[in-house]
Amino acid sequence: MTEKTSVRLLLSSGDGPAECRLALCHSVATMEKTAKKLGLSFASDPERADLSANVASAEVTLAGEGAKAFARAWCGTIKWTCQSPFRPNHKRQNWFIGVYELPVSATEAGEFNAEDLRFETLRAGGPGGQHQNKTESAVRVTHVPTGLSVVARDERSQHRNKQIAVQRLQEKLAGLSAEEGARLRKSERLLHHQLERGNPVRCFKGERFKEV
């Protein structure tokens, strides 16, 4: 099966100096150029044009066929060997950044695809008399990726109950998305300070940031 998905990456210079932040800028630029050559869509936050040696981290979102494999090839420690452009007499020449895959929320902004929903009809029950009890007007909708489900039995119309169920599910997913967002932000803060110096997955050299 052809892989077609989106991936989020966090690029972090950790607590490194300006040289590490510059390495981050170069990495985002190289990643964007390579990704677009492969036909992948690419977006960064901050945008690449706004990146500078003052930016300690950036998020990248990749989408398209092969995005996952492309991202895996970048995950880990990136090493840049270069004389410091900021401190010419500085002896250190090896600068490191980290690249980490971030989870993509299945409930981002409470949105979902129609194919992610499973509908079931059931007897309404409750008040409403014999007519409501004998007809399958109630609707249960399940969001398959998360397993969340809600039931609507407010109306006699199955169509109307379906609309209500979808609306309630969307509200429930939005609440879950907010909780996920808080957890993800905490995770990103932890990753920012977990940079491993050594065992690089990719190495670059010189002011032109040439891969070696």
Give the pLDDT confidence of 126-151 residue by residue, as tens digits.
544 444 455 678 999 998 877 888 99
Specify which residues 149 forms β-bridges with: 142
What was the pLDDT predicted at 177?
Answer: 65
Distance CA 110, CA 169 (A): 9
Name every residue whose Cβ is closer than 8 Å to that of residue 79 and which is 6 or more positions away in sequence: 94, 95, 96, 200, 202, 203, 204
Q: Which CATH architecture has domain 109-179?
A: 2-Layer Sandwich (3.30)
Question: For the chain, where do the domains classified as CATH 3.30.160.20 start and end?
Answer: 109-179
pLDDT above 50 for 2: no
**CB-side neighbour CA atoms (13 Å) of 188:** 19
What was the pLDDT predicted at 109?
Answer: 44
**CB-side neighbour CA atoms (13 Å) of 210:** 4
Query: Model confidence at 197, in pLDDT bands (50, 70, 90)?
Result: confident
What was the pLDDT predicted at 3?
Answer: 46
Rounded mean pLDDT, 3-25: 87
Give the pLDDT confidence of 35-92 residue by residue, as tens digits.
999 999 999 988 766 777 788 899 999 999 999 999 999 999 999 999 999 998 999 9
Residue whose entry in the numeric block shows the structure tokens 């706004």: 50
Distance CA 211, CA 200 (A): 12
Question: For the chain, where do the domains classified as CATH 3.30.70.1660 start and end?
Answer: 4-106+192-211
What was the pLDDT predicted at 47?
Answer: 77
pTM over 0.85: no
Closest alpha carbon to 60 in 40, 39, 81, 80 = 40
Contact between 49 and 140 under an 8 Å Cβ cutoff? The reply is no
Q: Is 151 helix (H, G, I), strand (E, B) or coil?
A: strand
Query: Model confidence at 1, in pLDDT bands (50, 70, 90)?
Result: very low
Closest alpha carbon to 57 in 68, 44, 70 = 44
Contact between 13 and 56 under an 8 Å Cβ cutoff? The reply is yes
- Going by their DSSP bridges, the two strands 57-65 and 4-12 should be labelled as antiparallel
What was the pLDDT predicted at 37?
Answer: 96
Q: Which CATH class is domain 4-106+192-211?
A: alpha beta
